[in-house]
């Protein structure tokens, strides 16, 4: 086997930087259940699925010519 049976959602990750220098990261976790804590996990155990997307909400841009990024969401509009 040349890795075909060991593939899971962790093989799919992506990163994007927009024109303002804001970072977006997307990834999938294929091992969230017993395979993450088990002592004798096998590739067949890693069939969970949890997709996540993270982004730089505000703060310094990755580009030197752009100072700080404004928040994408107005904090006053967020639910508690």
Domain ranges of the chain: 4-59
Q: What are the tens digits of pLDDT across the range 1-45?
A: 455 555 555 567 889 999 999 999 998 877 777 777 777 777 666
Contacts for 41 with CB less than 8 Å, ≥ 6 apart: 31, 34, 35
Closest CA to 30 of 42, 17, 22: 42
Q: What is the pLDDT of residue 39?
A: 76
48/29 Cα distance (integer angstroms): 7
Look up residue 61 and give its DSSP letter: -
Q: What is the pLDDT of residue 24?
A: 95
pTM beyond cutoff 0.75: no
Q: What is the pLDDT of residue 77?
A: 77
């Amino acid at each position: 086997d040349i890795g075909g049976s060991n593939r899971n959602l962790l093989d799919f990750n992506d990163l994007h930087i927009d024109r303002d220098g804001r970072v977006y990261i997307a990834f999938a976790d294929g091992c969230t259940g017993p395979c993450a804590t088990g002592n004798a996990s096998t590739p067949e155990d890693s069939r969970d699925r949890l997709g996540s997307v993270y982004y730089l909400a505000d703060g310094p841009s990755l580009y030197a010519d752009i100072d700080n990024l404004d928040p994408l969401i107005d904090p006053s509009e967020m639910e508690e």
